Chains A and B, each alone.
Chain A
Amino acid sequence: MEIQFKDVSYIYQENTPFAHKALENISFMVDSGSFVAVIGHTGSGKSTLIQHLNGLSLPSRGEITIGDFRLSADGKPKNIRDLRRKVGVVFQYPEHQLFEETVAKDIAFGPKNFGVTQEEIDHRIEKLLPAVGLPEEILERSPFDLSGGQKRRVAIAGVLAMAPQVLVLDEPTAGLDPRGQREMMDMFYQLHQEQNLTTVLVTHSMEDALAYADKIIILNKGQKYMEGPPLEVFKQADKLQKVQLGIPEVIHFLNQYNERFGTSLNYQYQSMRELAEEIKKQLEVGSHE
């Protein structure tokens, strides 16, 4: 589904002395089937932005369209339930979306609510558990008695169980162990491609933004600061630094390498092996000049 923001502003506690403008005149477009990463400093408005995608927040000004749904300050659309069925949101803190007595019930909650049969739900759960890295024995436990990373995995399974068309992920790998972080991102990406999802990822990992996104949107103090394909965005290290953001480690390393050796190796999505080959070749050639 295509997503479009048109001059969207959002104000918390509007018309009170505490009013706080968290988004200001944001416009952008996410093509159907594309993968967008949203990046920004602490408090820049990322979570506020994505809470609009399933109508949890409505814009104070401006307009959002998601497929055929339209969101504006005029109130919730009548078919908001449909929107919530199609747009799955994994929140920043998993605790905010766990509430059932058992893990099994928690994962089943969404699909059940939308009328999916128990048989189909069981089938989905069976496939989802290994995908999110959970053992079957966890199903009967209480989601509140799990470790942080286990809770995260349950929360992700609960959203995927709804088989959404738009997948919205707010720092979905925070709290996962390093191998889990990589496996989970690979799993999201595979789903994204196989099921032609539209994916919006909020992340602090420049590496993930580089590896998976077609486009990056950078927020700063509630405004859109930059937008573009990862390689273009990460060329502008100085501009990023102004808003306290870094660049992916591989690009940073190549920049340092080039400076030291007076070369111009570029990052073009090489694998680690290809990078090593290029560096080796360059070192050999360089020394014969």
Chain B
Amino acid sequence: MDRKKLVEFKNVSFQYEEERALVLNQVSFDIYEGEWVAIIGHNGSGKSTIAKLLNGLLMPKDGEIIVDGKKVDDDTVWDIRKDVGMVFQNPDNQFVGATVQDDVAFGMENRGVPREEMRERIQRTLSAVRMQDYLITEPHRLSGGQKQRVAIASVLAIAPKVLILDEATAMLDPTGRKEIMHTVNDIQESEGLSLITITHDLQEIVQADRVIVMNKGQIWEETTPRELFLQRGELREIGLDVPFVGQLTDELRKQGVPLKEAALNHEELLEELWKFNSKM
């Protein structure tokens, strides 16, 4: 299948300060239209830096970044930001409106969305994140999780081609997180946009098409969630961990229960146990 590349990182290196080590070292990857890629890695491994390079908040020291065919540089950056929607790790850094509805409207105004359409999208996206009752609340008066919900609504409203969520659901409860990721995933599939989620939530990784694992500013591995969780020892070494299903599978196998080791969720593990049970 000939899928369109929406994002290309070509040998990208970056450092914040000359005298300190490279924060990203020769990073290369591609992301296709309609794809969901998770970026994971230990604290300080360079994930947020990748996100900021992708929408031109930072410029690479070496290498190049191409978004939808355009190279990111000082001339294209304003254009590219229209295509790339981003939710920052701390939502306080991105609120611009005096009220929740102004904040959601802001990005659309910049993109010349007509009034009627704007009003409709404000309603739709705020309902999707269950914040429709807070239209005229000042963003700084929201709870931690409410802020994250509004930040996500604001970026969904601009319908970008590339959507980056940098730990955008970290303050939500597991149910809320699942619900929001479900909403985002629906929009991603129906609009064919590329979704990049930066996350420490192992559950969220499981749903992605691909995973890029960062370690000390370099790509440690590019893989699928299933393959990734087979490498239990290594994951712990680079600051990650093994999900519950993997841990229990390991213990069961140690005790001689012959399970396939690649169960990704409860259903798969139960199915494996069921097979073992009927064989006995």
User: A residues bordering B, Cβ < 8 Å?
Assistant: 12, 39-43, 47, 92-93, 95, 133, 145-150, 152-153, 170-171, 174-182, 204, 206, 244-246, 249-250, 252-253, 256-257, 260-261, 272-273, 275-277, 279-280, 283-284, 286-287
Contacts and interface: CB of A to CB of B under 8 A. Distances in A.
B171 A171 contact: yes
Given A148-B90, A175-B89, A179-B239, A283 B247 contact: no
Interface footprint category on B = 35 or more
- Would you call the interface of chain B mostly helix, strand, loop, or mixed? helix
Interface in B1-17: 16
B176 interface: yes
Interface stretch (B36-44, B105-113, B119-127, B187-195): B36-44
Contact of A41 (B176, B239, B252): B176
A284 B239 contact: no
A174 B266 CA distance: 24
Nearest to B178: A246
Contact of A43 (B145, B244, B247, B248): B145
A221 B24 CA distance: 44
A261 B277 contact: yes
Contact of B266 (A170, A253, A283): A253
Contacts of B266: 252-253, 256
A93 B277 contact: no
Q: Which of B42, B247, B274 has the most CB of A within 10 A?
A: B42
B30 interface: no
B87 to A, nearest CB: 13
Nearest to B137: A18
Interface of B: 16, 41-44, 47-48, 89-90, 92, 141-146, 149, 167, 170-176, 200, 202, 236, 239-241, 244-245, 247-248, 251-252, 254-257, 266, 269-270, 273-274, 276-277, 280
Contacts of A174: 167, 170-171
Given A175-B200, A178-B240, A179-B240, A253 B248 contact: yes
Contacts of A256: 266, 270
Q: Which of A171, A176, A204, A261 has the most CB of B within 10 A?
A: A204
Contacts of B251: 272-273, 275-276
Contact of A178 (B202, B273, B274, B277): B202
A251 B70 CA distance: 50
Contact of A149 (B44, B172, B257): B44
Contacts of A177: 41-43, 200, 239-240
Nearest to A260: B270
Contacts of A179: 42, 236, 239-241
A255 B197 CA distance: 31
| For the complex of A and B, 5 pairs with smallest distance between CB atoms | A149-B43, A42-B145, A276-B251, A178-B241, A287-B280
Contacts of B241: 178-179, 181-182
A249 B175 CA distance: 12
Given A244-B175, A272-B251, A93 B44 contact: no
A201 B277 CA distance: 41
Contacts of B47: 147
A67 B84 CA distance: 52
26 contacts: A39-B173, A41-B176, A42-B143, A42-B172, A43-B146, A47-B144, A148-B48, A175-B167, A176-B43, A176-B200, A178-B200, A178-B240, A179-B241, A180-B42, A180-B239, A181-B200, A181-B241, A244-B173, A245-B175, A246-B175, A260-B274, A272-B248, A280-B252, A280-B255, A287-B277, A287-B280
Q: Which of B149, B173, B236 has the most CB of A within 10 A?
A: B173
B43 A272 contact: no
Contacts of B89: 148, 175
A246 B270 contact: no
Contacts of B280: 283-284, 287
B170 A175 contact: yes
A253 B244 contact: yes
B173 A41 contact: yes
Given A174-B167, A182-B241, 16 more contacts: A12-B141, A93-B144, A148-B43, A171-B144, A174-B171, A175-B200, A178-B200, A178-B202, A178-B240, A245-B175, A246-B173, A246-B175, A253-B244, A273-B251, A279-B252, A280-B257
Given A92-B144, A182-B241, A42 B176 contact: yes
Contacts of A145: 16
A42 B43 contact: no
Contacts of B248: 253, 272, 275-276
Contacts of B44: 146-147, 149-150
B233 to A, nearest CB: 12
B239 A178 contact: yes
B270 A206 contact: no
Q: Which of A12, A253, A277 has the most CB of B within 10 A?
A: A253
